[in-house]
């Protein structure tokens, strides 16, 4: 697996593949890879002959008090994992290849970015929209794969790709989970053993809430009760537990099986801010 660090080198490789008739998948990441990321690569391989992974810890999506400096980095390990998963090319640009002096362009998706994580992380999705627009235009891939753990991010990316006519199909990859249900995340490394034992409750609590909402319970009381359960379980704070429609992220109070909905949560545990989401599945 080759590693390139410039947009020009990335494009040269993608162009050559396309000239050979290959379809290309892009899997953007911030590195610190885990099994969930390898699932993105695998989904890319299912849709394309060649898979490009990018590793870039994008500074513009971190807020002033967030963990940009502390965000785990380890390209050698990441690179070995990607090669083992069948990735064909790693694009790992330095920050000034992405944001050279004079850079001045912002991309903003209205509406979708104002709820859920947008409230606790002002500007976060502007940074995501900016870097993903760049990565999609840089790679000119046929498909790009993003994890469903960051469901709101996926909704934002689908919106901007459609709105800005970016000719790359956006695909979501299912959430990879540990045995106790904890969604895999690079930030799980921040958890000590005691916190790790608590963390699995996040998924279990919202899964139970989604099940009751699917069976007709009102979402407001259920999500409020779920937030209380997380605090009792040992989380330090709950940013939100909410039921919203899957595409427009509109608030849902009573589940309508004709409109896909999900329960979303974010909660803090020590240094980690963990997020998760689960579908409200129609009652069988």
Residue selected from 103, 194, 250, 256 as contacting its own copies according to rule CB under 8 A: 103
- Identify the active-site residue in 22, 34, 37, 47: 37
- Work out whether the CA dihedral 147, 130, 168, 154 comes out positive or negative: positive
The answer to the question of residue 104 lying near its own copies (CB under 8 A) is yes
| Cα–Cα distances in angstroms (integers) from residue 176 to residues 28, 60, 173, 277, in the given order | 16, 26, 9, 12
CB-hemisphere CA count at 13 Å for 2? 9
The answer to the question of residue 95 lying near its own copies (CB under 8 A) is no
Stretch that binds its own copies, among 60-68, 76-84, 97-105, 178-186 (CB under 8 A): 97-105
CA distance 144 to 28: 8
Residue selected from 159, 244, 262, 273 as contacting its own copies according to rule CB under 8 A: 159
Contact between residue 136 and residue 163 where contact means Cβ atoms under 8 Å apart: no
Stretch that binds its own copies, among 40-48, 126-134, 173-181, 200-208 (CB under 8 A): 126-134
The answer to the question of residue 6 lying near its own copies (CB under 8 A) is no
Which tokens go with 175?
């959430």
CA distance 262 to 281: 8
37 is catalytic: yes
Stretch that binds its own copies, among 53-61, 83-91, 158-166, 169-177 (CB under 8 A): 158-166
The answer to the question of residue 251 lying near its own copies (CB under 8 A) is no
CA distance 161 to 139: 14
Active site residues: 37
Residues that bind its own copies in the complex, under the rule CB under 8 A: 7, 11, 102-112, 129, 133-134, 137-138, 140, 159-160, 163-167, 248
């Amino acid at each position: 697996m080759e590693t390139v660090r410039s947009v020009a080198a990335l494009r040269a490789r993608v162009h050559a593949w396309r000239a050979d008739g290959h379809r290309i998948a892009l899997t953007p990441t911030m590195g610190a890879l885990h099994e969930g990321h390898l699932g993105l690569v695998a989904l890319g391989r299912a849709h394309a002959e060649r898979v490009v992974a990018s590793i870039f810890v994008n500074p513009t999506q971190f807020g002033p008090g967030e963990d940009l400096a502390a965000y785990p980095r380890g390209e050698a390990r990441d690179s070995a994992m990607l090669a083992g998963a069948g990735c064909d090319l790693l694009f790992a640009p330095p920050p000034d290849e992405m944001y050279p002096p004079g850079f001045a362009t912002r991309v903003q998706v209205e509406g979708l970015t104002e709820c859920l994580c947008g409230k606790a992380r002002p500007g976060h999705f502007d940074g995501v929209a900016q870097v993903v627009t760049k990565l999609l235009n840089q790679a000119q891939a046929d498909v790009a794969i993003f994890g469903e753990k960051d469901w709101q991010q996926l909704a934002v990316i689908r919106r901007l790709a459609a709105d800005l006519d970016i000719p790359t199909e956006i695909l979501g990859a299912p959430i990879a989970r540990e045995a106790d249900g904890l969604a895999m995340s690079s930030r799980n490394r921040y958890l000590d053993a005691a916190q790790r034992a608590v963390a699995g409750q996040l998924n279990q609590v919202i899964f139970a809430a989604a099940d009751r909402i699917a069976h007709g319970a009102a979402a407001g009381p259920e999500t409020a009760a779920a937030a209380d359960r997380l605090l009792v379980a040992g989380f330090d704070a709950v940013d939100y537990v909410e039921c919203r429609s899957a595409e427009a992220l509109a608030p849902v109070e009573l589940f309508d099986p004709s409109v896909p909905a999900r329960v979303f949560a974010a909660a803090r545990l020590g240094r980690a801010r963990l997020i998760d989401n689960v579908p409200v599945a129609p009652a069988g």
